[in-house]
A = this chain, B = another copy of it.
Amino acid sequence: MDETQRFITDNKQRFLDELLELLRIPSVSADPAYNQDVLNTAEKVAEFLNAAGADNVEVCETSGYPVVYGEKIIDPSLPTVLVYGHYDVQPADPMELWESGPFDPVIKKTEIHPEGAIFARGAADDKGQFFMHVKAFEAMNKSGELPCNIKFMIEGEEEVGSSSLGEFVRNNKEKLKNDIILISDTEIISNDQPSISVGLRGLSYVEVEVKGADLDMHSGVYGGAVPNPINVLSRMIAKLHDDDGRITIPGFYDEVEDLSAEDRAEMAKIPFDLEGYKKSIGIADIQGEKGYSTIERASIRPTLDVNGIWGGYTGKGAKTVIASHAYAKISMRLVPNQDPEKITQLFADYFPTLAPSSVEVIVKPHHGGHGYVLPTSDQGFQAAKKAMTHTFGKEALATRGGGSIPIVALFEKELGSKSVLMGFGLNSDVIHSPNENFGLFNFYKGIETIPYFFQYYTEG
């Protein structure tokens, strides 16, 4: 891969400029206001694939946002790697907390990134990361060192549950046929400690509504005598956890995979600085399920978090009103073996039972997704480990990620192939938050490492 690495070194600045171009388009899939921007981003991705030398590049229509496809088949008898990524991003709010425009990328040096990091929504999740693959492919291709076949599938609905991807995959099994799926949408432990995520949590996401009176009431005239949906919703949410931080939904833990003492001991080896962790996010203390370490709580244990809550008067000053409605968005992170549809149903059955007879409760399911585990014996994992170990000069560890990439379970089911989660981000990238950023070190390290994955995987 010497030619390839030389090509990368010679084109570093251009690679970065092209990424910034991509980051300037606000492809927020959750907000219809950005509809055209999301579509424009798909076209832009197709352009880059063509420029990199991909064949049969296509912006594939779906019932939602398009999937961008491209491929390079050098020899049908050689293995085929399918690269998955997504070009859509999370909403940028709260806007006021961004130090620079979320869609106006800037390079700034930070403590963790002395050589600079790219600050922009999507810098790490996932534009910056899938783009590493486009550039690594370009480098291998233009250097004549592409060792096997490659296919790209870059979607635009990952942040809203990949609602159209299932249908797309089912309808294009032949086109998407592959031996291994390679995804960079996760983190490494640190820039000194490479790691590969071999486990992901699934997701169940619901929106709940508690309805009291038909309209907002005067809290003086009615206070104390009628149900207050906000107080009621608060009590219901409070009852979803017991005092040990365990989720109270009946049957919630039934299918939870219990890790062996060995596995837990293995996890305990992962370097973790609790004080640094607390300091990095500014919390006085950690909090979670009794009997588990912070790393376990954030990876192998299921969770329930309220992601948003609203009701009543939230403006300036004081309004003495009893709201007619209160709402919350609640998500549950699931571990392997927990079925999202089943968990969502368990929640929908249980939650209303926490309400008094005085109110109405509505539970609206959003998207969900299964958890996932990749055996460390898998050839894909081995190739990724060798590639990272080579470029970082330190042995890559296997970690379990807390986030969800629901589609990896879908891929296994529909395409019958495993996914390798070789991400190059850091927890400190604060994806989904203001000032999301992606280190230049990480961006370039990814581009350099990916070609070795292709080499080692092809060598088998």
Closest B-chain residue to A240, C-beta based? B231
Interface flag for A216 (CB, 8 Å): yes
**B-facing residues in A361-396 (Cβ within 8 Å):** 366-367
The answer to whether residues A226 and B318 also contact, given A310-B310, A313-B93 and a CB cut-off of 8 A, is: no
Which chain B positions have C-beta within 8 A of A214?
281-282
Contact B213 A287 (CB under 8 A): no
Contact indicator per residue, chain A 204-235, by CB within 8 Å of chain B (1) or not (0): 01010000111111111111111110110111
Closest B-chain residue to A320, C-beta based? B331
Contact A329 B322 (CB under 8 A): no
Which chain B positions have C-beta within 8 A of A297?
224-225
Contact A311 B313 (CB under 8 A): no
Which chain B positions have C-beta within 8 A of A11?
none
Q: Which of A103-111, A340-348, A399-407 is the contact stretch?
A: A399-407
Interface flag for A27 (CB, 8 Å): no
Q: Return the contact of A402 from the options B29, B220, B360 (Cβ within 8 A).
A: B220
Which chain B positions have C-beta within 8 A of A222?
281, 298, 402
Q: Return the contact of A315 from the options B93, B281, B402 (Cβ within 8 A).
A: B93
Contact A320 B298 (CB under 8 A): no
Contact A309 B160 (CB under 8 A): no
Which chain B positions have C-beta within 8 A of A315?
30-31, 91, 93
Contact A305 B432 (CB under 8 A): no
Interface set of A (CB-CB < 8 Å, partner B): 29-32, 90-91, 93-94, 97, 160-161, 187, 201, 203, 205, 207, 212-228, 230-231, 233-235, 237-241, 281-289, 294-295, 297-298, 301-303, 305-323, 326-329, 331, 333, 356-360, 366-367, 401-404, 427, 430-435
A28 to chain B, nearest CB (A): 9
Assembled-state Cα–Cα distance A414/B225 (Å): 33
Contact B241 A231 (CB under 8 A): yes
The answer to whether residues A319 and B311 also contact, given A201-B220, A222-B402, A281-B214 and a CB cut-off of 8 A, is: no
**Interface of chain A, main secondary structure:** loop
Q: Could you say which of A31, A308, A434 has the most chain B C-beta atoms within 10 Å of its C-beta? A: A308
Which chain B positions have C-beta within 8 A of A432?
216-219, 319-321
Which chain B positions have C-beta within 8 A of A212?
283
Assembled-state Cα–Cα distance A198/B304 (Å): 49
The answer to whether residues A323 and B308 also contact, given A91-B315, A329-B318, A331-B219 and a CB cut-off of 8 A, is: yes
Task: Give me 30 A-to-B residue pairs in the complex whose CB atoms sit less than 8 angstroms apart, sorted by A's number.
Answer: A90-B321, A94-B216, A187-B221, A212-B283, A219-B331, A219-B333, A220-B333, A222-B281, A223-B303, A223-B305, A223-B402, A224-B302, A224-B303, A225-B287, A225-B288, A226-B287, A226-B288, A230-B309, A231-B241, A231-B305, A234-B309, A238-B239, A305-B322, A306-B312, A307-B322, A309-B309, A309-B311, A309-B312, A314-B329, A319-B329
Contact A224 B298 (CB under 8 A): yes
Assembled-state Cα–Cα distance A317/B221 (Å): 36
Contact A435 B215 (CB under 8 A): yes
The answer to whether residues A221 and B301 also contact, given A234-B238, A238-B235 and a CB cut-off of 8 A, is: no
The answer to whether residues A283 and B93 also contact, given A216-B433, A234-B237 and a CB cut-off of 8 A, is: no
